[in-house]
Chains A and B, each alone.
Chain A
Amino acid sequence: TQLLEQSPQFLSIQEGENLTVYCNSSSVFSSLQWYRQEPGEGPVLLVTVVTGGEVKKLKRLTFQFGDARKDSSLHITAAQPGDTGLYLCAPLYNFNKFYFGSGTKLNVKP
């Protein structure tokens, strides 16, 4: 089992604030995915990062894969209530299997 840590576990902010959540491991991964899960639903894929140092943007969300491919971050600019949810990182540790972190639970208050 890979040791995977997501931080912070919980985050409660006001609408309009910026935030960053982190996903760290001691292992090197070939790629890593970020998912968002809303209450009562299954996770939905946001992005896949593959190359060390890669940065991808999805509207107000910016994803970065660490140079050594051991860590990743998700930055949200001007958070909105619709961003509320559980953010999960999932490194690929086998050809087609992912290991999911425990997630960051984000609450954006209007």
Chain B
Amino acid sequence: NAGVTQTPKFQVLKTGQSMTLQCAQDMNHNSMYWYRQDPGMGLRLIYYSASEGTTDKGEVPNGYNVSRLNKREFSLRLESAAPSQTSVYFCASSEMHAGGPEQFFGPGTRLTVL
């Protein structure tokens, strides 16, 4: 099992450009998440998908859109990138346990917006 995979690993954009970050999981999990991590801060939830066909906003959704293409894939789109979106982006999927969902994270995409 590959777990959670993310592409690309690194990306540099100019202000105003668009791009899509891809995420896929092979663990048959229902829930998937997109987070961003900035220096000195923890992970902040951008969007969340409880199951195929549903998405919900997290803490910081402005400037982003998501698509839950199927159970395996959850993509994050930046329509018009801004320097404030320079960050490391993590995708995660989860399965339920007694204490709550256990999240499995991908390796991250490091995005720089110039």
Would B97 and A48 count as touching, CB distance under 8 A? yes
Contact of B2 with A by CB under 8 A:
no
Would B40 and A102 count as touching, CB distance under 8 A? yes
Name the residue of chain A whose CB is nearest to the CB of B35. A100
Would B98 and A50 count as touching, CB distance under 8 A? yes
Are A100 and B102 CB-contacts (below 8 A) given A1-B59, A41-B108?
no
The B contact surface, by secondary structure, is: strand
Would B42 and A100 count as touching, CB distance under 8 A? yes
Chain B residues bordering chain A, tally (CB within 8 A)? 29
Q: How far is the CA of A30 from the CA of B50 in the complex (A)?
A: 19
Q: How far is the CA of A48 from the CA of B104 in the complex (A)?
A: 14
Q: How far is the CA of A98 from the CA of B45 in the complex (A)?
A: 8
Tell me which residues across on chain A come within 8 A of B107, comparing CB atoms.
Answer: 40-42
Contact residues of A with B, CB < 8 Å?
Answer: 1, 4, 6, 9, 30-31, 33, 40-45, 48-50, 88, 90, 92, 96-103
Contact residues of B with A, CB < 8 Å?
Answer: 4, 31, 35, 40-45, 48, 50, 58-59, 90, 92, 94, 96-108
